[in-house]
Structure 1
Amino acid sequence: MTMAGQLRVLGKEKKAPGSGTMWRATVPAEQRRLISSTLGSVQEQLLQLRGVQTGPTADVARRLLRGLGHSAGLIENAWKRTALAAVNGGVPLEEVAQWVNMPAAVLRDMLTAGGREEDS
């Protein structure tokens, strides 16, 4: 990157924290691996659900709903980890809250509650 480009990134960073930083520079490798692993698990779960669509209606519905519920939990975990990584990387919480379409106070509570659960 040219010196002028670097200065532009630094200038933008001062105005909007996190906007000019690179994901790999601000999100620790372990957290990136956890996000990628969770998304991979979701993808695998959803692919497995395609194979359970035979049998009595109640059995199929039960297996699909349980599988979808599990996948939804994995997706929620991945988006929370990603939102936390963005905030920790310097993106304002209010901006991240807009991206996930929720009030900043609700997102803050979710992220702080999630952090306590993961630590235990």
Structure 2
Amino acid sequence: MTNDAQLVVLRPDRPPTVERGYEIRLKDDQVNIRPIDKIDQNYQGLGNVIDRVSISLDGGGTRVGYQVSLHDGGLHFKPDNATSASYIEDNRATVIKEGINQMYRRVNDSIDRIRTIFIDFQ
């Protein structure tokens, strides 16, 4: 199963920025993503919260963490602190892939629900 999702970045005192998205592919219960150059300014906002999970990764010797929530329409990533925010700036695909994997394992839901991915720096 394959799905395309738009990436929207939220920053303080700025309008939402639509950036290139990701192709999300599910095969044998493994999620893989790859960047795509598709940019559509008409992204889908987030609907009701379905579930939430905290993820933690090794950010080059430092633990980085994110609150990830699955909504009708997409995923929302919120860095736990400034170090985590800095890490996701340079390692978006790594963090997004881990968030999708963790959420998929938790709710065992279809990836086609994910149409927009928000990274929230606010």
TM-score by length of 2: 0.28
TM-score by length of 1: 0.28
Q: Which has the larger radius of gyration?
A: 1
